[in-house]
Amino acid sequence: MPRGMVVIDKERCKGCGLCIAACPQKVLAYSGQLNHSGYNVVHTEHPEACVGCTFCALTCPDIAIEVYREKVAA
């Protein structure tokens, strides 16, 4: 069951790949698409596997990632 979602700001992403390595769920991969700065930006290849752990966002040097988590009923 998917529990998380990441939103990547394509124009901030410099394609360094640190988030791809940090994600324990292997959600992220290179998209093959270039942004306006010419970087091969990262996208969510397997969004359904995201658990919202924030590891990718903690690792991103360009603060290009926001993370959401499913609301849990109180």
Q: Does the footprint of other proteins cover residue 5 (CB under 8 A)?
A: yes
Nearest to 42 by CA among 11, 74, 70: 11
| 62 sits near other proteins (criterion: CB under 8 A) | yes
Counting residues that bind other proteins (by CB under 8 A) gives 32
Give Dmax over CA atoms of the chain in angstroms. Answer: 45
Decide if residue 68 touches other proteins (CB under 8 A). Answer: yes
The structure tokens 């290179």 sit at 30
Chain contacts with other proteins (rule: CB under 8 A): 2, 5, 11-12, 14-18, 21-22, 39, 47-48, 50, 52, 54-55, 57-63, 65-71
